[in-house]
Amino acid sequence: MGIRPFDIARTRVTLFQALLRARDERGGKYKILEDHERKPLTYDDIVVRVFALGGKLDSLIRRSETVGLMLPTGAGCVVTFFALHAIGRTPAMLNFTAGVMNLRSAIEQANVKKILTSHKFIKLAKLEGLEAELSKHAKLIYLEDVGKSIDLGDKVIALFKSKMPKAFAAKGSPDDTAVILFTSGSYGTPKGAVLSHANLVSNVEQGYAHVPFEPDWSFFSPLPMFHCFGLLGGVLLPLFTGHKTFLFPSPLAVKEIPKLIHDTGANVFFATDTFAQQYARNADDDDMKCIRLMVLGAERVKPETRELYMKRFGVELLEGYGATEASPLISVNQPLANRYGTVGQFVPGIEWRLEAVPGIEGGKRLYVRGPNVMRGYLDPTKPFGIDLLPQGWHDTGDVVDVDEDGYIRILGRVKRFAKVGGEMVSLNAVEGYALQVWPHNTHAAVALPDSRKGERIILFTDMANAKTEDMLAWAKNNGASELALPKRIVVIDDIPVLGTGKTDYVALQRMAAEQFAEARAA
């Protein structure tokens, strides 16, 4: 299997240098990248296009400027991403599903004055309203317009530069800022994580040293490049290790994606549990049997999802864990050491420590440090505009348990605990209880202030006939505390999710507050 020891020396390059190194190792004519337009690109094709586009962007964007990148996952976004690096500019990946308020906050945090996007993308995604709002705060540069200005002479020059790329690419340090990624915003306004070249290249090397990949395996990724999972797992990991990757612009095409996995014969696939279930429901039995390695992250993997994939496709699901601040991979299960209910063991090179959280038993707060962990969050009030991590330690905000073999079990986020009657109750556990009662539905719990008991738990579910009496009966039969049961159950058609597939707890919290206020008023 394709696995190599974690070598810190391989991480001391910039992202563009890592791409060039992969080209040298795999061969410039190797077809490494394809998207929904079905026009495969070789490493040489990518590098030539990077220099052609970069040559034009160089005159449009000031040196050392942070540039917003608002594009769908695909070859165009990959080329633009590396074109910015080739000319020494820093991309800030903009989540176009986050809404106007969060996007405006993002461009303010990153001091973005120009945004690279596409007329076609804006039209297909119906983002004209967002486009109009963002144009009030930054200049929008459309790639179609830039592309029209690239003539034969520019292409000849780009071809020449591609033969001696190190001589013409911008000089940079592995410790320079490579990209600004914004946290998902599951619980509040997204924060800008400042990741260096070494952070991202380290995480590629850590993943490759932890999980085996056959040399001829190919990847399939519909995850957004504005999300750390999509950028690292779907793009940088395969490109830097010489594995062809097929990129698709949206994880929401649940009927089309299984067919494309079959057509491309993809062997490695990344998803979330929510999307994985939808793909399986819309797939024919043969569509996903080509998968050899499937990693799910961002949310807990349900037992029925595991059973579904094993029964229909013979695919064993691997659960992993990460954070935007860690580039993102922190841990993942391995094919021959897959322990259900855990997110695997730490990848090589990560230091970790646990600290007790008052009122929470059975788990502790996780801190991590390593070559993949960010420098800090954007903060214009601090030196260099970054709030540096103390001694390099990142507080994940997650409450975990690590067993004697090093397997990690996520108990929940610190902010995902409610204080009910003086006891700390995990909202993740509440969702787990609901899943036991209604295993084929989706559930999400939030907490609201309560004058008598501190907080009360509200459960949202898409189970049409859900009743608190059903959960109470289950709790009595299974020894669960009544304090960990919701006081109200709200049935909705669909649990809201973010563009990354994570549950949108901000929206649910707002819905709960509005409904609770209405109930009081009534």
- pLDDT tens string 43-95: 999 999 999 999 999 999 998 789 999 999 999 999 999 999 999 999 999 99
Q: What's the gap between Cα 38 and its chain centre?
A: 24
Q: Which of 267-271, 381-385, 479-483 has the highest mean pLDDT?
A: 267-271
What's the confidence (pLDDT) of residue 3? 64
Encoded tokens for 497: 């999710």
Residue-averaged pLDDT of the chain:
91
What is the enclosing helix (H) or strand (E) of 177? strand 177-182
E strands along 14-76, which residues? 31-35, 41-42, 66-69
Backbone angles phi, psi at 445, to 5 degrees: -115, 140
Q: Which of 42-46, 207-211, 330-334, 487-491 has the lowest mean pLDDT?
A: 487-491
CA distances from residue 402 to 210, 215, 354, 364 in whole angstroms, order as listed: 18, 32, 9, 9
What's the confidence (pLDDT) of residue 185? 61
- Is residue 203 scored above 50 in pLDDT? yes
- Give the integer Cα–Cα distance in Å for 459 and 485: 9
Model confidence, pTM: 0.86
What's the confidence (pLDDT) of residue 472? 87
What's the whole-number mean pLDDT along residues 376-386? Answer: 84
Instruction: List the one residue out of 224, 204, 193 whose CA is nearest residue 77.
Output: 224
* Residue bearing the bigger pLDDT, 483 or 342: 342
- The DSSP bridge pattern shows strands 177-182 and 139-142 to be unpaired
What's the confidence (pLDDT) of residue 517? 66
Q: What percent of the chain has pLDDT over 70?
A: 96
E strands along 272-309, which residues? 293-296
E strands along 36-132, which residues? 41-42, 66-69, 90-93, 114-117
- Is residue 184 scored above 60 in pLDDT? yes
What's the confidence (pLDDT) of residue 514? 84
Residue 476: which pLDDT band, with cuts at 50, 70 and 90?
Answer: confident
What's the whole-number mean pLDDT along residues 455-470? Answer: 89
What's the confidence (pLDDT) of residue 415? 75
- Is residue 305 scored above 70 in pLDDT? yes
- Is residue 263 scored above 70 in pLDDT? yes
What's the confidence (pLDDT) of residue 334? 94
pLDDT, tens digit, 9 for 90 and up, residues 477-506 = 887 777 778 888 999 998 988 766 778 888
Q: Indicate the Cα dihedral angle 149, 155, 161, 163, nearest 10°.
A: 160
What's the confidence (pLDDT) of residue 521? 45
Domains of the chain in sequence order: 421-521 (3.30.300.30)
CA distances from residue 148 to 144, 145, 195, 242, 432 in whole angstroms, order as listed: 6, 5, 32, 31, 54
Encoded tokens for 410: 């996520």
- Give the integer Cα–Cα distance in Å for 295 and 238: 14
